[in-house]
A and B are shown apart, each in its own frame.
Chain A
Amino acid sequence: MNCYHCGEECQEEHLYYKDKNFCCNGCKTVFEILETNDLSYYYELEQAPGISPKTNKNRFAFLDDAEIAAKFLEFQDGDLSIVSFLIPSMHCSSCIWILENLKKLEPGIKSSQVDFPRKTIRLSFRNQSVSLREVVILLTRLGYEPNISLDDFEKKKEKVDRQLIYRLGVAGFAFGNIMFLSFPEYFELREFWLEQFKPVFRWLMFFFSLPVVFYAASDYFSSAYKGLRSKMLNIDIPIALGIIVLFVRSSTDILLNLGSGFFDSLSGLVFFLLLGKFFQQKTYRFLSFERDYKSYFPIAVTRLRSENGCFEEEQVQVYQIRKGDRIVIRNAELIPMDGLLLSEEALIDYSFVTGEAEPVSRKKGDHLFAGGRQQGGLIEIEATKEVKQSYLTQLWSHESFTKKTEKSFKTLTDQISRRFTLSVISIAILSGIFWLFYDSAQALNVITAVLIIACPCAIALAAPFTLGNLLRIFGKNRLYLKNASIIEKMAGIDTIIFDKTGTITATGKKQISYEGITLSEEELELLSSSLRASNHPLSRSLYALLKRHHIKVLEDFEEIPGKGILSRQGNNHMKIGSTSLLGQPSSTENFQKTQVHISNNEEYKGYFTFQNLYREGTAALFQQLSKNYEVILLSGDNQGEERRLKEMLPKNVQMHFNQKPGEKLEFVKRLQQQGKKVMMVGDGLNDAGALAASDVGIAISEDINVFSPACDGIMDARSYQQLGRFLKISQGGISIIQWSFLLSLAYNLVGLGFAISGNLMPVVAAILMPLSSISVVVFTTFLSNLISRKIKSV
């Protein structure tokens, strides 16, 4: 049975309302809101378009603070405010419709406009009738929770960069016009009146080419200049040289009335090159690849201010917290700074920092570290350090974590351009010298002709078009790479490191098995009733497994933190929890596994074992990868799962356990020092250092919008099994580029034949140059689509 609103399968409790099924109260509420406001057209646009909302109103209390709110507002004047939010859960046309109709739900909202590719919404509202916080809560109630993080808070408004579009527009405009104007030249019509007007046409061409050379192509000149200054022969040097020579030669041609010049080739060349750049620039703007801890930290926390012995709650920005302040952390909130626990007990989930999946319990007076997440009730903390000095923050600002070592990675194009540039220049000089003796009048002509025709336009186009197209194909298959050069790096990988928790295990899913004496129906009832009362994560997942049982009101219930539960119903006294609670000896082997032991009336019954559920296809993936790559498993967890993993994975997979974040980073660096090209596949903050240090860092995420540390690529967990295929395709992409290099080299050789022999007519250049560019583009696009078929066919 699936939810009418969000389409998720209805689990534990399901609601029935107006002949429709809902998986939770949130979904039902959204349906109600939409229905009472005549907005049920929402459901006609798509089937089950909604997102199940998780409302927690307290979270946005800080938006009532005028100072904080002002930082989010784009514009404020009198009654009118404008604000933009990133809404990651936006996913279909229904979302666009409802978000643009918000004014029907809240009359205080004047208008709202969605930018779907960027997943942003821009709202204008009257702040007399609705506050920023109310707007955010409305969005959250509908299931479109805006992404509000410390990172956004500090970020300055980025300016939209439209330079490339302008350049492309200029080059395209000039290209089209110049082509038109040179028609009479192409056909060499010896017609009287056309001959008469030739100078006019030529001068017009000259003027059209000026913005192309001085504006559209200016990037190539500056890049070539930078290359020369740092003594690197990059591909932009022959391109810039070609453009200059084309322009100078064409200008002198028309000045001295020698011919029509090559203005059409010149503008076409620049246009195609910019087109290639445009294609490669395709990024996923709604994804953030450069996140650090700030993206996950709350902007404000609740501070307790003592006034005449009474405590008062107030919302303050996290950076304003000083040593000694008392802070309140609610359920599922992140602890933003190191501190001492003032409440009796706390259950902290450190998976964010350490990768250890099980939450740990802490008692009054214990030290808590930033980055932990409180599970269960409200706790109070006394801050011992400011946010900026906390363990996590310092770990992050640690040199090796922040320094994204941009190793001088040489792309394939860079590698060949060096040799190419040298040979072009030497051919030009040699043929010039030859013609100087043979027919000195022609010498200069030949040198420029060689430089023009050898301009590596096609070579420069091969990589952007192949990689840009692959980037698009990967994106369709839910692997989002930061930029195109990552594909080249992927092709060169020889070692792959996997993190365990959250990467090869599915987050939040556990496999539970029972071993021992079979429990009677009565005992099962008592067990599930006791578990229901407990908030411990293990109790919750065990309860979910047993939920079919009758729930009774317990006569006695006690939960001992870190140990387990004591409960009584009639004559049955049940103990649920660790071996120490039950007075059982614990074997070392069992100690490493997560277990919940049960005894009834002091009689030991047995235990439930919690095992990680590995992602589907893990064994097959490792099998496939270990054939061609060195595969290593690097886990922050203990060895509890080692035996199971050894059975499941191929023998040559190395495993290392108990790795702290810093150790993972060192591990990657050690491999790199041995000359290995390392790919790291991880998920959490604990892998962040290793992800940043590795040659290619891929973050796996169940929800690509929500969680991903700084990395080179974000992979949707659903595409996890395809990793091997992605790697193969990237290698295929590299060979396509190599082939198209050969193709363009063939064109260049033919052209050089014309140029050296002194026969380069404008019409030959006009045909050969665009032809080589276009055929390379067609060739690479066709082949890269062909090889990526593999990805779909399996």
Chain B
Amino acid sequence: MNIIYLLLAISVIVALVFFAAFIISVKNGQYDDVYTPSVRMLFEDELVDQEKETHQQSTVNKVKSN
């Protein structure tokens, strides 16, 4: 049953890793603004689309000029 020492050690280490991740994320300011990213996330697709469009257009233009 001494395996429980190992299990305990692992579980404590895992817990500490999560805790460290939490501290680092707070330090990096991830908890400073919890609203804007949720909105920003919704824009991303649109932006990519537009870039694609302009990209496509420019390729179309290239084809035309060729």
Contact = CB atoms under 8 A, between A and B. Distances in A.
14 contacts: A93-B39, A93-B42, A96-B40, A101-B47, A117-B34, A117-B35, A165-B26, A166-B23, A169-B23, A173-B22, A177-B15, A193-B1, A200-B5, A204-B8
B33 A115 contact: yes
Interface residues of B, number: 26
Nearest to B53: A38
A160 interface: yes
Interface in B34-66: 34-36, 39-40, 42-43, 46-47, 50, 54
Contacts of A115: 32-33, 36
Given A96-B40, A173-B15, A162 B33 contact: no
B27 A118 contact: no
Interface residues of A, number: 24
A169 B32 contact: no
B12 interface: yes
A629 to B, nearest CB: 38
A116 B26 contact: no
A196 B43 CA distance: 58
B36 A166 contact: no
B8 A162 contact: no
B26 A173 contact: no
**Chain B, interface SS category:** helix
Contact of B19 (A114, A162, A173, A197): A173
A177 B47 CA distance: 44
Contacts of B23: 166, 169
Nearest to A197: B4
A740 to B, nearest CB: 29
Nearest to A211: B19
Interface of B: 1, 4-5, 8, 12, 15, 19, 22-23, 26-27, 29, 31-36, 39-40, 42-43, 46-47, 50, 54
Given A116-B35, A117-B33, 10 more contacts: A38-B50, A96-B36, A96-B39, A96-B43, A100-B40, A114-B36, A115-B36, A166-B23, A177-B15, A197-B4
Nearest to B19: A173
Nearest to B15: A177
Which of B5, B36, B54 has the most CB atoms of chain A within a 10 A radius of its CB? Answer: B36
Contacts of B8: 200, 204
B1 A97 contact: no
A183 interface: no
Contact of B36 (A117, A169, A173): A117
A193 B4 CA distance: 10
A193 B12 CA distance: 20
A97 B32 contact: no
A41 interface: yes
Secondary structure at the A interface, as helix, strand, loop or mixed, is helix
A162 B1 contact: no
Interface string A189-218: 000010011001000100000000000000
A162 B31 contact: yes
Interface string A38-49: 100100000000
Contact of A116 (B15, B27, B29, B33): B33
Contacts of B26: 162, 165-166, 169
Interface in A90-112: 93, 96-97, 100-101
Contacts of B46: 41
- What 8 A-B pairs come out closest when comparing CB atoms? A116-B36, A115-B33, A93-B39, A173-B19, A116-B35, A193-B1, A117-B35, A97-B43
Nearest to A41: B46
Contacts of A118: 33
A197 B2 CA distance: 9
Given A97-B43, A166-B26, A196 B32 contact: no
B36 A162 contact: no
Interface string A164-190: 011001000100010000000000000
A169 B27 CA distance: 12
Nearest to B54: A38
A160 B29 contact: yes
Interface in A22-58: 38, 41
Contact of B22 (A93, A169, A177): A169
B19 A204 contact: no
A211 to B, nearest CB: 10
B53 to A, nearest CB: 8
Contacts of B12: 177, 204
Contacts of B42: 93
A475 to B, nearest CB: 14
A114 B36 CA distance: 7
Contacts of B31: 162, 165
A579 B26 CA distance: 69
B27 to A, nearest CB: 7
B25 to A, nearest CB: 10
Nearest to A44: B46
